[in-house]
Amino acid sequence: MSSSTTKSEFWRGVRSGAPFTLVVAPFAMLFGVLATEAGLQLTETMVFSILVIAGAAQFTALQLMQENVPTVLVLVSALAVNLRMAMYSASLTPHLGAAPLWQRAVIAYFTVDQSYACSVARYEAAPDLTVPQKVAFFFGSVAPVCPLWYVFTYVGAVVGETIPDSFALDFALPITFLAMITPMLRTAAHVVAALTAIVIALLCTGLPYNLGLIVAGTAGMMAGARTELWQMRRAPQ
């Protein structure tokens, strides 16, 4: 494999991840704004964003902290929101599990929704890629995303309340997940899992401490798994 091939996969990954910058920037700014409004210092906000690097979990934890929820529930809720990362890791292991340990450690840190969505789509479309090519694509897909997350978290924390409400930064969260999830609903199990989670989340909005999200996520995974088992049993032997 030539180095130019690896480089081409890296730049292919960059192009694949680049569209997400349109929503990552306002999403990160919104977190920076809300974190400072919640009383976090600039250093605390940046450490939070750099160490966790998981927007949905960060927003969940921040909201619960503002409501003076017990620390244990804050941690459990944030971990529950991030359980999808465990599924992402399991899905990426057949493709990247043979990479050197240090690369897998960095990949684990940079496994976010955007890098996962881009990488899995690429790996499925090109199953003959070598491990170095797959690693290069992964890092390319995250290259335009994560640096912006840090930079615009800082911008949001510094600028804070001077950002007018008319900017509607909170649009970034739903837009980001719609852009990532919709193309991945390729099987009946995916659709059933998504619809179940949506319905349960709406029905459980009254639960305290955002526990409805945990219940909805669990129900969605169970429904998707049951659908896959049902399809396997009905498939011709």
Provide long-range contacts, Cβ within 8 A and 24+ apart, for 74-77: 76/214, 77/209, 77/210, 77/211, 77/213, 77/214
The answer to whether the beta carbons of residues 36 and 162 sit under 8 Å apart is no
Q: Which domain holds residue 80?
A: 3-184
Each residue of 4-58: pLDDT tens digit?
Answer: 589 999 999 999 999 988 878 888 888 888 888 778 899 999 998 998 888 778 8
Nearby residues of 181 by Cβ (< 8 Å), 6 or more positions away: 194
The DSSP string of 49-81 is HHHH--HHHHHHHHHHHHTT--HHHHHHHHHHH
The answer to whether the beta carbons of residues 25 and 33 sit under 8 Å apart is no
Q: Are residues 153 and 36 in the same domain?
A: yes
149-182 b/e with 16+ CB inside 10 Å = b?
A: beebbbbbbeebeebeeeeebeebbeebeebbee
Q: Are residues 211 and 105 in the same domain?
A: no
**Domain C-terminal end among 161, 184, 207:** 184
Q: What is the pLDDT of residue 164?
A: 64
Q: Are residues 191 and 85 in the same domain?
A: no
Other beta carbons within 10 angstroms of residue 92's beta carbon come to 21
Q: Are residues 89 and 172 in the same domain?
A: yes
Domain count, the chain: 2
Q: Are residues 154 and 70 in the same domain?
A: yes
Q: Are residues 215 and 131 in the same domain?
A: no
Decide: helix, strand or coil at residue 124. Answer: helix
The one-character DSSP state at 98 is T
Statement: the pTM of the whole predicted model exceeds 0.85: no
CA distance 117 to 113: 6
The answer to whether the beta carbons of residues 186 and 197 sit under 8 Å apart is no
CA distance 85 to 65: 22
Each residue of 111-130: pLDDT tens digit?
Answer: 998 899 899 999 999 999 99
Q: Are residues 9 and 88 in the same domain?
A: yes
**Domain C-terminal end among 143, 159, 184:** 184
Q: Are residues 207 and 172 in the same domain?
A: no
Q: What is the pLDDT of residue 2?
A: 46
Confidence band for 162, pLDDT divided at 50, 70 and 90:
low
Each residue of 72-94: pLDDT tens digit?
Answer: 878 887 777 777 788 788 889 99
Q: Are residues 76 and 160 in the same domain?
A: yes
Mean pLDDT taken over the chain: 83
